[in-house]
Amino acid sequence: MNRFGSILTGAVLAAAIVLVFSSPADAAEAKLPKPKDRWIEVRTPNFTIFSNANEKMTKRSGDNLEQLRAVLRGLFGGMNFSSPVPTYIFVFDDVRSFEPYGLLYEGKAKEIAGYFSADRYANNAAILGHQYSTDVSSTIYHEYIHYVLSTNQPELPLWMNEGLAELYSTFDIEDGVASIGYPIGNHLIWLRNNPLIPLADLISMDRDSPDYNEGHRRGVFYAQSWALTHMLVMGSSDGENRATSYSRLLQQGVDKEQGFRQAMGGTYKEIEKELNRYVRGSTFSYSKMPLSSEISATSTVTEMAYPDVLCRLGNLLTALGPDRLEFAASHFNAALEIDQNFGPAIAGLGRIDELAGRSDAALARYERAAELAPDDFMANFLLGNALFERHQKAGAAEQQDELVDRIRASLRRAAYLRPSFAEAWSMLGTTYSWDSEPDDFGIKAMEQAHLLLPKRGDVGYNLVLLHVRRDRLEDARNVVARMKAAGVDEDMVRAAKQLADNLEASRADTLLRIEQADAGGSVGDAAELAAREARNSAERREFTDRYNEAVSLINTGSTAAAITLLEGLVDDAPSEGQSATARALLVQTRDFVSFRDEAERAQALANSGEIEAAIEILEPLVARAPDQIQADQIRRFLAKLHAYRDFQEHYNEAVDMVNGGDFDAAIAILEPLVTAAPTPELTAMTKLLLDDLKKQR
């Protein structure tokens, strides 16, 4: 199996991403969705899907997406897969329903089957399904990879961004094994029958390039980007693959053309020849990886009311830019014609007012929306955000003070309603930086924001500021170390560190002055005390740095190294309290390693068919789980194993009946098993046997 580098690397035969529309429509001619169309909302632990396509296919796509996310987390532990904003996926059944919400190029619909877009409020992915399709997972995977890349490596060139998305678009799991790297047949056919884009042109292309936006050349671009990425990742020898090398050079600031030549080890012409040979070859490398733990997504399906459909689609349009706002407004107004007190529609119109610069009108709508929909986290956030902006522009201090309580109340409610929505926590915490001595709640709010947005320099800086305002030097130093470890911009880290340095200097100065003023104390004695305090502070900082290093090792899966580091900290800590802190984390880490090893042993037993043995291991693990999330994962795994065991027992009983000639008894057992089977494959197997028995009877 190939070794994987620090960027997403890997991808099964699938349809090309590019589809040809029969009659592209101008956005102005687009019509609202029909009231009679059935839309559903599918919720999984990490995604929300809105769909007018086949329910079974939509639900399966959501479950598959959860599987992909879990596998990626296992492969790339250092990457961030937790979104600080909601992730919404729109699955459209056909071209007619998708086209009004697609992307535009020069005023016309682009010939695509899906896209990903993000703003401060949500990640949006729009996918074109088909009324006759059974699965749109590959397109959803493609768009999800764009999100992961944008979160972790936003500066990748277009060809690599699309190439990696295509490489992973055919991710597959079968019998507990994830497959990565199967060739995409349509791309190979295209490349073997069409001239390649010169590499110099491919490398320089961006999203405004005509070749990226026009039908035939766009197809070549996708196919060639996939093939080049596949060659660099899956065709690399042992060691760091060339795609990872290229990405690392770009992160170091190397020019993309210079970096390409350096990472590839050849000129454009030489790599073009290599690529031509590669796409015409008879074999392609791929990898298979056994899953380390059972991945089971639980999803819920609910029918969507028509006003909700209109508002969700209106929000999607609003996120696409100013040229779609008029059409978005028509959605919100249509929802209000059905229900004049529908809060989300009023909030949607407020966003359009805000984008158009009508701040007073926007605020009035947000206030009304929050009143009508108090449990809508976005309506409350939009109100808090509008009040926040008004506070920043307010002239008189009294006017500002009047707003603070209202701002905090709205943002607090938004944060409580959606605890994973980082922007609400960040803005809420920022309001406490207006106080000379912020209270503990403000610091906790900003801590939550920093947890969700570890790479946001402004969030880290504001958290350091709050700690400094409360004279918490060690806490401030701890945050600076976390900012540095997360790769925050150096200028922001430097500015945050300066805040902590200023506090430390102020403490030393204060100590010196006190000692000078005390009974008979000399300046020399005071200086010695100050020096001693500085040495103690340095020891505390060293402990904090080593402790944070241990936390980082744990977060990246290097638990053995973390345990070694923590064992040393327990003995070398400057104080008993810090030693106890290190000891507690050491115990917690050892418990986690034991828990993980037992879970993996149960997984291996389950994969080998020893279901009972796996259940015996897993049942006591529920109480030992490090947190509720992992306890729930074990419970879901157990439920699935119990379902497999029960299915196996009943199926074998039916087979015994068949072998004994009692077809009626076998049919009576098999009929409920069709719907109770734990996987689609077992459902199909059961139905096949059932149909054969009915024919024979």
Question: Distance (Å, rounded) from C-alpha 418 to C-alpha 425?
Answer: 10
Query: Between residues 372 and 102, which one has the greater pLDDT?
Result: 372
User: What pLDDT is recorded for position 325?
Assistant: 92
Q: Where is pLDDT greater, at 571 or 675? A: 571
pLDDT-derived band of residue 4, with 50, 70 and 90 as boundaries? very low
Helix (H, G, I), strand (E, B) or coil at 113: coil
Mean pLDDT score, 96-111: 79
* CA 313 to mean position of chain CA atoms: 21
From edge to edge, which strands make up the β-sheet containing 172-174?
A: 172-174, 177-180, 287-290
Q: What are phi and psi of 575, to 5 degrees?
A: -140, 160
The pLDDT of residue 307 is above 90: yes
pLDDT value, residue 238 = 55
| Residue 683 reports pLDDT greater than 80 | no
Render pLDDT for 374-432 as a digit per residue (tens, 0 to 9): 999 999 999 999 999 888 777 555 557 778 999 999 999 999 999 999 999 999 999 99
Task: Return d(Cα 299, Cα 63) in angstroms, integer.
Answer: 7
- Decide if pLDDT at 299 tops 60: yes
What is residue 340's predicted lDDT score, i.e. its pLDDT? Answer: 95
- pLDDT, tens digit (0-9, with 9 covering 90-100), for 20-73: 222 333 434 568 999 999 999 999 888 899 999 888 888 888 887 888 888 787
140 with 234: CB under 8 angstroms? no
Distance separating alpha carbons of residues 314 and 580, to the nearest angstrom: 54
Q: Which one, of 177, 152, 278, 267, lies nearest residue 223 by Cα?
A: 278
Q: Which pLDDT does position 28 carry in this prediction?
A: 40
Residue 91 has pLDDT above 80, yes or no: yes
Give pLDDT tens digits for 475-512. 999 999 999 888 787 878 888 888 888 888 777 666 65
Average pLDDT of the chain? 79
The SS3 assignment for 582 reads helix
pLDDT in tens, 236-292: 655 567 887 888 787 777 777 788 888 888 888 888 888 888 888 877 777 777 665
Confidence of residue 433 (pLDDT cuts 50, 70, 90): confident
Model confidence at 517: pLDDT above 60: no
Task: Name the band, by pLDDT with cuts 50, 70 and 90, for residue 16.
Answer: very low
| CA 336 vs CA 1, 205, 307, 308: distances in Å | 56, 44, 8, 11
pLDDT at 81 over 90: no
- Residue 321's pLDDT is 85
Give the DSSP letter string of 318-355: HHT-GGGHHHHHHHHHHHHHH-TT-HHHHHHHHHHHHH
Token readout for 517 is: 């003023």
pTM of the model: 0.61
**For 285-318, b where at least 16 C-beta lie within 10 A, e where not — what string?**
ebbebebebbbbbebeeeebebbbbbbbbbbbbb
pLDDT at 73: 77
In the prediction, which pLDDT does 417 show? 94
Question: Looking at per-residue confidence, does 332 or 45 come out higher?
Answer: 332
Whole-number pLDDT of residue 336:
97
pLDDT at 17: 26
pLDDT at residue 62 in the model: 82
pLDDT tens per residue, range 334-365: 999 999 999 999 999 999 999 988 999 999 99
Alpha carbon distances (Å) from 59 to 296, 573, 647: 13, 52, 22
Q: For residues 364 and 366, what is the distance between their CA atoms, to the nearest angstrom?
A: 6
pLDDT of residue 368: 97
Distance CA 432, CA 452 (A): 18
Side-chain half-sphere CA neighbours of 595 within 13 A: 20
| pLDDT in the model for residue 341 | 96
* Among 417-421, 435-439, 580-584, the range of highest mean pLDDT: 417-421
- List the domains of the chain with CATH numbers: 27-290 (1.10.390), 319-413 (1.25.40.10), 604-696 (no CATH)
**Residue 635 burial (CB < 10 Å; 0-12/13-18/19+)?**
middle
**Can you list the alpha helix ranges (DSSP code H) found in 432-489?**
440-452, 457-469, 473-485
**Stronger pLDDT, 51 or 677, i.e. the higher one:** 51
- pLDDT, residue 541, reads 64
Comparing CA positions, the residue from 423, 488, 421 lying closest to residue 461 is: 488
